[in-house]
Structure 1
């Protein structure tokens, strides 16, 4: 495959397709929450969720579909979302971000996706994860003006 035929992740629905569409993303989310339930390092972030993960699974699946260039299913069902604002109710710092990304890295590794897409996706997921931490830090720091 020459460079002109390579998928251009992040453009149109290339990432959504590389993830296997809705079903592939749903499998990623199912694996993610299974890992979160079983990984000792994820105890704190798991405690931020309800016992029943049905709604969390639905929301994350729908969000990722649109975020990866597919149908905007989250918007259709739940409306607009600001990732940092949504997560503002929890104390999220670097350890929580790293635990979340660690669970996601393991879930991504389980998927039958191209290695380049796996790398791309984890790199892209770090961006909103870092923004959540930055927003939480800004809320904790006193106004310096």
Structure 2
């Protein structure tokens, strides 16, 4: 990796993030706790938002902010009951999606470490 290359570029850019998100939402589609948190009938709009957010976070295009403004992740997730069970389900599906990418160990750990921290930060209730 050159010193000017972003993590977004290093792991394969848009195609890698698209695969990650598509793999993740395949799991969410059948999850009885997570699926109801997505208001659209089709998970496509949510997948697009997550793809754009992750790409921007990792040094890709700033399309997410151009279209939606500041990410404000905690605020955007407040309408939903994100308890430890929901977090763990999210992490399960995301872990499977990350593993399907087949990234080198350092890149996988870099990506996973962020996703895990983000999931824990989104918990907004401890109620069942």
Shorter-normalised TM range: 0.7 to 0.9
Correspondent of 2:34 among 45, 48, 53: 45
Counterpart of 1:26?
A: 18
- The 5 A counterparts of 1:1-145 are 13-38=5-30, 42-49=31-38, 50-133=40-123, 136-137=124-125
Which structure 1 segments of 5+ residues have no match?
Answer: 1-6, 141-145
TM-score (norm 1): 0.78
Cα distance, 1:14 vs. partner? 3.0
Answer 1 or 2: which has greater helix percent: 1
Contact 1:13-1:68 within 8 A present in 2 as well: no
CA distance in 2, matches of 1:107, 1:47: 20
Measure, in 2, the Cα distance between the counterparts of 1:72 and 1:112.
26
- Structure 2, unmatched stretches of 5+, are none
Which structure has the greater CA radius of gyration?
A: 1
Q: How much is the aligned-residue C-alpha RMSD, in angstroms? A: 2.2
Runs of 4+ residues over 6 Å off in structure 1:
none
